[in-house]
Structure 1
């Protein structure tokens, strides 16, 4: 018999948000039968009679419990929240991906003991129960590792990436079990007899599952895949972009100009499809679009290593949202273990990296070696990734922003089109002319709007670093009061700058505009 814990297992309790706090926390509420979950775990652990200890951990989209039995054995139970992705499909796809990859790659993947994608089960929610990852998070070990260990660890992880990138798939989408809860026309079989198929992409982006999106957009995309070729994949992006345009009655009309009207987005998304139809005819783009499966969040927080020898990888967790994408989707973002040192407030404000106190020559050399190791392995062994990395990323920006234009702004999408138009022939070597060509007046207005857009991105990045928060304004409970006060002080300073500019007659920054530009609402 297991009693309920003293903490709340159903609500998000690990932190607060500086932006849309109540909406963010409510979106992560999960209702289920905690006693039934514990009973199920007990039955999975030989000789166990009860749960002796339970530790609750919060993921951004999952409720996680570390359950220790009276015998000392331990398991991890994960329950997706409503924002994790489409019901049933997200759980089925994650387990199918882990099952497919176990034994095929050298990366250790925790063994799934039990799972259900049917919320009508006795627990009352979808769940995955798995063995805990062995070792300790690489994030915790990284500061204690020396330069050689950093390099060897990066090498081992690069080998794992090249293994994943070597698999060939017949379509884009997400992996599922062949008997998964999908209509037959949404299943593309592969490796007949192994029990897997490719089905719809289970990212929340296609299903409008982020906090508040269902209320804003009202429905998922009509085209979530799977897609057998780059043209159908691209059309899926376009149709998703249209599906994310809100009902005019729900739109806040007090928006900054760079956000754009609904009609602006309709025009830009339509024009994006014209441009993309030309891009996907290009052999270079086609060759850079090989269907590729990589870990969706391959960073130090999800990688476990041996505490005795941190160059040995002992586990990789969180395969949720792993999907088969065109290789160019993965091409230009290196994992954090192979990236330059984390940005500081000084670098965001434009100081030379050599001028920053504490940024030692040794640290810079360490980062350089890791980056070179990553580049070497991608170039030598990850053919699909390297081919995409060798091309100008301007070719692919449109594929990465056309389906999220309302979230990211019309200006962000227009900028991708403007760059393509400017570089189409000489820099990119594309035939003919770009179907999008802005007039001088349109280009002048875009430059003004893009300045505001960049100002907001830089402001948010500066706040994220200076407040040590998530990009969405997330802050752990123990720092909430202090961070909220610091946030208010930063806001007051920002508004004072706006007042000074307004008094000087500067129309580019006024009090009203400064308030609109501020990215968080906890004022």
Structure 2
């Protein structure tokens, strides 16, 4: 069992006597981990990190059939937004504030709540759900220069959507996307330990943003209790010769060594004890950073997403991702069709030009298939069957 304080009372109705939604829990026993950490020795640091890693293992041991937030089975929400799980619970809409556009610092960035908050039974629908919430036009047209215009932002997201759809088809991404429930803010300020034995975890608090997410959302975030500190450059360290400086340097050296041990302990535990996270931790972070940015693009800037797309494109072959050539082929084919048929990406043409457009469409389709036939005869990758599948419009 995880040491989570019991809930004594709660209300999600602001018309209650308090005048606001609230939750009251038992007092968390022990002391916050960051308060006692400086007094602990190296072995205690390692054992505490190991205990916290085992807590992650317990969280990840639960299996779920969908992505979303966890609710009681009798929660009064629409049955179409419930996916049943065991022991009187269900998976329902994701409670992340971004989905509901109620974050106090982001009210000016978004319109109303998303119409698709989950739950999502597969990775594709999960990604599209997040894309939907951030492609809603913001209430305010004022933005910082690095954010770009609303139009630029939406255009970039549409490109990102195509890339995400390709990524989620890969087996390695699928293997790294198992629905996983972990503490969303698993850091020192939310961890309590015993003052008598600081290797014993006595309390974990601040669970309100916890949701069932793809494993890779959590995999490469190292909690602060296991993070490596930044080391100063050697030229920045003064050589004074004073005993106080030597003692300070020795203390820092020990702290760095302890941090390295904790980092290694956490990394080994995640790869060895938490099977759900292992495939994701073995992937290059470049592969799934786009999934992270897609949730906060307008806040973090379109430039960040643009850079991720550039890096992903440049390293596609190196990262072992399939079908990048197909992606480029589809983009070139779509552009060619739009120009040849004088239409848009949806295939719309005025009714008075329909007959001419239909004939032209037939001609360019035949030309495309003929090109594929010749390619297939030469033993190249583009076959007739593949060319037909890559064709942008429904008509043949």
Q: Which TM-score bucket, shorter chain as reference?
A: 0.7 to 0.9
- For 2:91, the equivalent position in structure 1 comes to 198
> How many angstroms does 1:212 deviate by?
4.7
- For 1:109, the equivalent position in structure 2 comes to 4
In 2 relative to 1, CA 120–211 (structure 1 residues): closer, same or farther, beyond 3 Å?
Answer: closer
In 2, the alpha carbon distance for the partners of 1:331 and 1:436 equals 30
- For 1:246, the equivalent position in structure 2 comes to 138
- For 2:169, the equivalent position in structure 1 comes to 281
**Number of matched pairs:** 321
In 2 relative to 1, CA 129–279 (structure 1 residues): closer, same or farther, beyond 3 Å?
Answer: same
| Aligned with 2:126 (options 218, 233, 245) | 233
Q: Which runs of 5+ in 2 are unaligned?
A: 239-244, 332-396
Contact 2:67-2:213 at 8 Å conserved across structures: yes
- For 1:316, the equivalent position in structure 2 comes to 204
In 2, the alpha carbon distance for the partners of 1:307 and 1:429 equals 49
Contact 1:110-1:133 at 8 Å conserved across structures: yes
2:310 aligned with 1:389? no
> How many angstroms does 1:179 deviate by?
1.8
2:303 aligned with 1:411? yes
Residue deviations 1:22-44 (CA, integer Å, cap 9, x gap): xxxxxxxxxxxxxxxxxxxxxxx
Please, what is the CA RMSD of the aligned residues?
A: 2.2
- For 1:47, the equivalent position in structure 2 comes to none
Contact 1:238-1:403 at 8 Å conserved across structures: yes
Counting only pairs closer than 5 Å after superposition, residues 75-154 of structure 1 correspond to structure 2 as: 105=1, 107-154=2-49
- For 1:421, the equivalent position in structure 2 comes to 313
Q: Which runs of 5+ in 1 are unaligned?
A: 1-104, 439-523
Could you say what secondary structure the match of 1:176 adopts? strand
In 2, the alpha carbon distance for the partners of 1:216 and 1:407 equals 8
TM-score normalised according to structure 1 size? 0.58
- For 1:365, the equivalent position in structure 2 comes to 257
In 1, the alpha carbon distance for the partners of 2:72 and 2:135 equals 30
Residue deviations 1:134-183 (CA, integer Å, cap 9, x gap): 11111111111111110010011111111111111000010011122311
Dislocated runs of 4+, deviation >6 Å:
none
Residue deviations 1:46-72 (CA, integer Å, cap 9, x gap): xxxxxxxxxxxxxxxxxxxxxxxxxxx
Could you say what secondary structure the match of 1:211 adopts? coil
In 2, the alpha carbon distance for the partners of 1:212 and 1:382 equals 35
Counting only pairs closer than 5 Å after superposition, residues 100-499 of structure 1 correspond to structure 2 as: 105=1, 107-191=2-86, 194-243=87-136, 245-247=137-139, 250-252=140-142, 255-256=144-145, 258-341=146-229, 343=230, 347=232, 351-352=233-234, 355=237, 358=248, 360-433=252-325, 435=327
In 2, the alpha carbon distance for the partners of 1:223 and 1:411 equals 25
